[in-house]
Structure 1
């Protein structure tokens, strides 16, 4: 029996941004946004990507969706390169669509909602047949009345705009939705509605999700698998239930301490200590060691732990995992 082809596969993906400064003879500096990322997303799965601000989540999301080219490494969509030898996006990229954090910024204020969805439909299919009918079907799929087609973005609420952004992404008939903090700009009451919509679409349309969020409760609700990032690297990965119940990396434990335990409705033991590292000048060895209560100075300050396989399919990058 042949192994199932991955819908999205990132191999040793890194992204660095050159920084100005350093003087005429100064050493060139760079910001390491993500480093040596290996990630496989299978069809029908829902993968949550979590971590503090600045850990590289959004950069990785943009690389996965094809908006940002990696500095090194490769991105494969259904077994085919995302980009050609010259760096141009291949047609298969439309299988991966993105839902942005700020729906107002993602929409053109000069065009009606209907015009923007129709534009996406034509770009995806090259056909203008039954355009209004297809547009209205997309609006209904995300819980909006087709009458919204005549409105402009500023006439809609935040939740309604995010539904429009989702409908526009669905116009390309994607297999994978990359959702970059899609709830962050919304009121709490609306967040639950959009989360339920994404879950419904995932089940009814067979969509695969890469869901980026700092809200751990939403990731637990929506995702089968969790990937924890720190300082631009994956430091733990595994099934959602396993990571939430028995995290293996001290950072995962600390991160989960900010979320309410669903059984007691209280915060877990542990606390966020210290600040996230500067991506321009990361600590030597394990980048988490300045904040880690388990760190062995002789080991952790000098040797970066590799991401290694543990029991139960778990991966963790910690000397003591």
Structure 2
């Protein structure tokens, strides 16, 4: 049985930087358990109000736990991270943060949704967006998964990098193996940014953010030269918690892919407002936690077709 290690909430850092000393040294094949705060680094709590969004210190957000030095890991190798367990807290939050998100110019007022995460009679974890009306099944994953870049210096944890980082990919759930190209000795692996649920694209910039307990197995591979940037193997099927019924979908058509994406999201917000009676900011935050963005057509120039897919199974 390989040894297990526990990394606590305080063992975290705010930048990707290969000069940060590791908090643990483990052998390839070891299991590491992380206790991670939410992406606000504890600034938002179950009792927070919208004022907490306005006063949030963004120099303290998106911290990651680690780094972990993995023995035998060398530049040019690949680190396999197998997610064994992902356990959310019993609460989470979603916010509209002014200046942040795809439609930042249309949503300039802060908003905050505090979620209560519970389990149904079948043991399925879920949360209510609106009690008795809109029910979101959870599918926990970590948004921040990465190893230290080879370049010297401190790099923000906000954007994704070729070595991982803030990839915010909802399909990296329990049972998934993600492969990261190693650029420094020991790999220096870190993880964080727990999400209870998120749509592909995370359009408003926050998912259901939650503290997370994470268990991973770290394995070094010497024979995977095809891994140039993060790749992953899912247990399948994709989006199984949501893919239980009909979808309402919109297409954004535009020669600019960013504008096409904005159109598709805006049309879903319009639909939720006019058909389901949500306020526009409620609709926008709901899109971020359960709507998927897809590139439906990218070859018939001059226009792109970007699709926004809303699972109608969330409506009770």
Tell me which interval the TM-score lies in, with the shorter structure as reference length.
under 0.3
Task: Choose 1 or 2 for highest CA Rg.
Answer: 1
TM-score (norm 1): 0.24
Answer 1 or 2: higher relative contact order, Cα 8 Å, separation at least 6.
Answer: 2
- Say which structure is richer in helix: 1
